[in-house]
Amino acid sequence: MMNLFPKTHIDFLKYRKVYFSLFGAILVLGVICFFVKGFNMGIDFTGGTMVQVQFNAPVDMAQVRSALTATGANSELQSYGDNTFSVSEKSTEQEVGVVQARIEKALDTLKVPYTVQQTNSVGPAVGESMTERALWAILLSLVFIIIYVAFRFSNILWGVSGVVALFHDLFVMAVAFSLTGREIDLVVVAAFLTVAGFSINDTIVIFDRMRENIRLHPKMSFAELINTSINETLSRTVITTLTVLFALLILYFFGGEVINSFAFAMLIGCISGVYSTIALTTPLVYTWSHGQFNDGSKPANAQNVEAFVKEQNNRNYKRNRKNKRR
């Protein structure tokens, strides 16, 4: 049996104060970053125009820039190599297509023939609606996940802890985009949502182990139970994460422009997702059901666990009786 991870006995809960402080620090620094650097929202959200052209002969970036500034407009220029440039301009112009015509007119002054590869003009109303819809989708997913997890694991605290970790991952991704100044477009939003799905997946796997271990070892302290569950699922967590990271790294380096930002977002989100499950979700479950921070060795909130086990046993008993009757 090839095994990267032999049986481990790591006390993950021991460092929970460090994790919580780190989370606090990320929150504070992140919010500062949002205010200082802001986000580079793509024109899908702000409204505006993007024109991507390829010139038939070599053209200097400075030349293109001066041709654009001659029109007096505030356009952003980006070079993709191979004489390909993209000009984008955020605007609240109601009339779609006006800005595009102006940009093309400016490029005409260079007197080098070019082909238009891609254009995108978005009216301000569309951008607003996109932002609104994306936020709704995220918010609703979070609510439904809390409900589902609370229902499946008979405890609302577990659902809330899972969602806190999810929030952490989305937040870290947002910070990464704010720091690097990468543009947030629709594809990136898809990546955010994928990470939401992925991060909760990790959480569920560990919760599932905890649910099982509560049944198997009713006398085990809550801290030990959590640590055992994380350790038992550790090799699965690492293998799954590694395979996904492999795939994402390939997409990141070779996937082309459009996929690149998707892969970047996913890379950040996946790493954050694994971390947050171990360092946020389970410590939160522990802390909340325990009521206080220290005292990790004693049976944690014995009543809570006992009540849970009793309820599970009751349920199993009823189910068995029902089955027998059939």
Partner 1 sequence: MSNKLAVKWGIIIAILLGSLYLIYPNYKWYSKPLAERETLDTLGERPKRMLNLGLDLRGGSSLLLELEVAKLSGKEPLNEAMARAIEIIRNRIDQYGVAETSITKQGDKWIMVQLPGVSNPQRAEELIGKTAMLEFRIVKNDTTEAQKAFEKLEATDKPFDDDGNLIPSIAQLVPAGMQIMRNKDGGYSLVTDTASVTGADLENARVVMMGENGYPEVSFTFNAEGAKKFGQLTGANIGKQLAIVLDNTIQSAPVVQSRITKDGRISGTFSAEEARALAIVLKAGALPAPVKVIEKKTIGPTLGEDSIKSGLSASFYALVLILIFMAIYYKAAGVIADIALLLNFVFTVAIMSYFSATLTLPGIAGMILSLAMAIDANVLIIERMREEKLLGKPVYEIINLGYDKAWSAIFDSNITTIIVGACLLQFGTGPVKGFAVTLIIGLVVSLFTAVFVTRAIYELILTSNTKEISL
Question: Any bridge partners for residue 115, and if so which?
Answer: 54
CA distance 75 to 290: 56
Residues 259-278 that bind partner 1 (CB under 8 A): 259, 262
Q: In whole angstroms, how far apart are CA 302 and each of 87, 298, 314? A: 63, 9, 18
Smallest distance from partner 1 to CB 295, Å: 30
- The number of residues in the chain equals 326
Of residues 58, 72, 113, 256, which one binds partner 1 by CB under 8 A? Answer: 256
CA 82 to chain centre: 33
CA-closest candidate to residue 100, choices 114, 77, 116: 116
Cβ proximity of 118 and 50 under 8 Å = yes
Cβ proximity of 214 and 288 under 8 Å = no
Smallest distance from partner 1 to CB 303, Å: 25
DSSP-derived 3-state class of residue 146: helix
Q: Is 81 in the site for partner 1 (CB under 8 A)?
A: no
Smallest distance from partner 1 to CB 293, Å: 29
Of residues 64, 67, 87, 134, which one binds partner 1 by CB under 8 A? Answer: 134
Q: Is 102 in the site for partner 1 (CB under 8 A)?
A: no
* Helix (H) or strand (E) run with residue 120 in it: strand 114-122
Considering the complex, state which of residue 27 and residue 245 has its C-beta at the smaller distance from partner 1. 245
Q: Is 167 in the site for partner 1 (CB under 8 A)?
A: no
Cβ proximity of 116 and 53 under 8 Å = yes
Q: Is 288 in the site for partner 1 (CB under 8 A)?
A: no
Q: Is 98 in the site for partner 1 (CB under 8 A)?
A: no
Considering the complex, state which of residue 110 and residue 190 has its C-beta at the smaller distance from partner 1. 190
Smallest distance from partner 1 to CB 154, Å: 13
Smallest distance from partner 1 to CB 200, Å: 5
Q: Is 198 in the site for partner 1 (CB under 8 A)?
A: yes
Half-sphere exposure in the Cβ direction for 186 (13 Å, CA) = 12
Smallest distance from partner 1 to CB 324, Å: 20
Q: Is 52 in the site for partner 1 (CB under 8 A)?
A: yes
The residue assigned the tokens 């790493």 is 271
Q: Which stretch binds partner 1 (CB under 8 A): 20-28, 193-201, 288-296, 308-316?
A: 193-201
Q: Is 210 in the site for partner 1 (CB under 8 A)?
A: no
Q: Is 164 in the site for partner 1 (CB under 8 A)?
A: no
Q: Is 133 in the site for partner 1 (CB under 8 A)?
A: yes
Task: Look up residue 115 and give its DSSP letter.
Answer: E
